[in-house]
Amino acid sequence: MTLLFKLAKPLLHRMDPENAHNLTIDMLKRFGPHAPVVDDPRLGVSLFGLNFSNPLGLAAGFDKNAEVPDAMLGLGFGFVECGTVTPLPQEGNKRPRLFRLATDEAVINRFGFNNHGHDIVLDRLKQRVGKPGLVGINVGANKDSTDRVSDYVKGIRAFASLADYFTVNISSPNTPGLRTMQNREILDDLLAWSLNERDEAARHGPKRPLFLKIAPDLSLQELDDVVDVSRKRGIDALIISNTTVKRPKSLHDKRMRLESGGLSGKPLYPLSTKMLSEAYIRVENQFPLIGVGGIDSARAAIGKIEAGASLIQLYSALVYKGPALINEIKKGLIERLEKDGLSSPLDLVGRAVEDWGNWPIESFL
């Protein structure tokens, strides 16, 4: 697949970005690998009762409809997050809604939760029952829903027997008002209902970990609230972060930066990693963090772990570097463990948190 990507990249990058993505999914369905790779045991991480063969996962949004989880595991990811899935199928915003900022190695999207809905995604996951590899489901609310909390609860109920974990996604910038669910009172209510549904489902099957995915655009006071409520309610992990609505000064593409939507990829790295480190300080090891945003190299991946992430995810860098990046990151991680005489990636978690403390958030905007 690495060679195929190298050959196909010039063509894919001349196409409309959304068509290129759909073609990629199609190619993966036809020609993608079908079984997870065997990882170096030193990369293994056990958390939440799950055994991750390596700490690098595919972030939500690439495989919104669970069409290619096994192919992505086969490319070397240690886990794959499908979704965001909403109860009812949804078209999302009108096209164009996906933009490449090639000089910045970044992406802007304003998809707005286009997805096939619970029923279809559920059928796809049923077809892979018994297959190896960890697949999580990221759940969301329909745009027109009159009871958003209930949409999340429905997601947890629907996927309880098939998902290895759940992510409650309240941080997409493309569904109006969704990010207000990060406010203390609404979040408390959402987590209470979601965890209750998860626990209810666990009476008839395994107890699945529940993660919360947040935006990088929270103020530190808002982050205080999110962490406080998350600790009190007892979620299993925070995923930091989703895309940003900010347009950092560092962006070169002056035309594309005007497109509305969430920015991801390389320019998101400093802001999302800063927020991760701030969350790490506040969480005080009550639960692990999952770091995502702008990882595009082994160095960036290790930096994310050192800023507080026990697991990491990426998406946008695949657009520019292709699947070879996955092995590059795993190789770099092993080299680092060898160099420092460490036995697990977890030994690196949080080592550089203090360095991030020297930089105010404003310096990354």
Ligand X SMILES: Cc1cc2nc3c(=O)[nH]c(=O)nc-3n(C[C@H](O)[C@H](O)[C@H](O)COP(=O)(O)O)c2cc1C
Sites of contact with ligand X (CB under 6 A): 59-61, 64, 83-84, 98, 107, 109, 111, 138, 169, 172, 213, 242-243, 264-265, 268, 292-295, 314-317
Nearer to ligand X, 162 or 214 (CB): 214
Nearer to ligand X, 232 or 332 (CB): 332
Nearer to ligand X, 205 or 345 (CB): 345
Distance CA 61, CA 259 (A): 19
The CB-of-104 to ligand X minimum distance in angstroms stands at 11
The CB-of-262 to ligand X minimum distance in angstroms stands at 7
The CB-of-340 to ligand X minimum distance in angstroms stands at 25
Distance CA 172, CA 164 (A): 22
- Closest residue to ligand X in the complex (CB): 61
Q: Is 84 in contact with 138 (CB distance < 8 Å)?
A: yes
Q: Is 248 in contact with 294 (CB distance < 8 Å)?
A: no
Nearer to ligand X, 74 or 294 (CB): 294
Please tell me which residue in 46, 161, 171, 172 is annotated as part of the active site.
Answer: 172
Q: Which residues pair with 167 in a beta bridge?
A: 138, 211
Nearest to 213 by CA among 199, 222, 226, 204: 226
The CB-of-24 to ligand X minimum distance in angstroms stands at 12
Query: Could you give phi then psi for residue 134, rounded to 5 degrees?
Result: -90, 125
Q: Which amino acid is at 94?
A: K
Nearer to ligand X, 311 or 314 (CB): 314
CB-based burial label for 94 (10 Å; 0-12, 13-18, 19+)? exposed
The CB-of-350 to ligand X minimum distance in angstroms stands at 20
Q: Is 295 in contact with 314 (CB distance < 8 Å)?
A: yes
Distance CA 103, CA 100 (A): 9
The CB-of-107 to ligand X minimum distance in angstroms stands at 4
Q: Is 69 in contact with 63 (CB distance < 8 Å)?
A: yes
Nearer to ligand X, 15 or 344 (CB): 15
Q: Which amino acid is at 326?
A: I
Specify the 3-state DSSP secondary structure of 250.
coil
172 catalytic residue (yes or no): yes
The tokens describing 262, both together, are 């969430």
Instruction: Cite the active site residues.
Output: 172
